[in-house]
Structure 1
């Protein structure tokens, strides 16, 4: 059977659409893991990137942190966390967050630093405080690039969250891991297809968010 036949057989089997191992349930688990990891990474990366980008300090430290985090293998970190912490969601969240923080952190920093200094100086001249300058002037202009960093992190998380299945959690990785163990390649291909489709849907969501959140003037630039 070729790949298309595997895909057709997997999605055409009604057994894959019901129950604990059904597609809706596994998809919901995968989305939950991904959203939680992205929220945690954004809570770390966005404030740090905005602050260092606004002040212009700490750029070298950010580059060092990002390089070190990107060098860590997600699966190896998962195994280490599993050994140290045991079963549960935490050993999965740590490598996913470590994977997602660098693109958010570095892109946010670069986005704020790239804002035209003229309107920033004008805002300060009008008496705006530093917080208002950041939130009212720099952030709206930097938002497209910031969303790009979040999008990149989200795609990496969605693609990598399959590792949750290796420590007995759910998600779409369950199809891939179980399928390989059972030599059920229909299940393996079906799981991989679902992950790819979810990644494409993630791109579409961020495109829609950018259309709604970014002002037309900035978007036109």
Structure 2
């Protein structure tokens, strides 16, 4: 305990900086994942045959070890934040894409037909019917993706992108448990806070009718 206290006294300001770097890398990757995966997931519901191929390819990419992806980007992008964010972005896509595709595809066809009968355009049906009904499942995918990325972002320090992984790997190199704990505990706290925050957002975006049905179930 004394070692951890000494670590905080000696590295408190740097810990705040590394925490900010960790949040920046993780959340930027998630935002990019949202920007790409949600429109792509909606588009794929219109072409189911293509959807299986695209989701399959993304799933295969998800199985590639994260260090391998980081190493792959180094010859093209060098080291630092950019390759780290792109690598994490690749990992963020699958949960969001799969949940978006599944939830939009499962929207009741009778509701879509009702919207079409009212003269709604394709965009109006997406915005007014499909996305509101699919939003809880989409948000669940964003939530899972965000929590995973908080943990994976620790590997970004391997290519000089900063973050709390710097403390963890310094502790491993120096055989100093205080550095490992000083990096690992904030990562865990960030992951838990992210899960709580996105869980609240998930409830907020859930249509009232669905929330009421869940309460009575």
Mapped partners of 1:55, 1:134: distance in 2: 15
Aligned pairs, how many?
Answer: 213
Q: Quick one: structure 1 residues 218 and 57, their matched pair in 2 at CA, closer, same or farther if it must change by over 3 Å?
A: farther
- The alignment status of 1:16 with 2:26, answered yes or no, reads no
- The alignment status of 1:122 with 2:117, answered yes or no, reads no
Deviation per CA, 1:29-88, whole angstroms, max 9, x where unpaired? Answer: 111111111111111111100122255453212331222221211111101212332222
Contact 2:81 2:160 in 1 (8 A): no
Q: Which runs of 5+ in 1 are unaligned?
A: none
Q: Which runs of 5+ in 2 are unaligned?
A: none
SS at match of 1:58: helix
Mapped partners of 1:191, 1:11: distance in 2: 14
Aligned to 1:52: 44
**Of 72, 77, 85, which residue of structure 1 is paired with 2:69?**
77
Mapped partners of 1:62, 1:220: distance in 2: 35
Aligned to 1:131: 123
- What do you get for the CA RMSD once the two structures are aligned? 1.9
Aligned to 1:205: 197
Aligned to 1:108: 100
User: Which range moves more in the overlay, 144-153 or 54-63?
Assistant: 54-63
Length-normalised TM-score, structure 2: 0.91
Length-normalised TM-score, structure 1: 0.89
Query: How far did residue 120 of structure 1 move?
Result: 1.2
Mapped partners of 1:67, 1:102: distance in 2: 6
SS at match of 1:87: coil
User: Which range moves more in the overlay, 83-92 or 160-169?
Assistant: 83-92
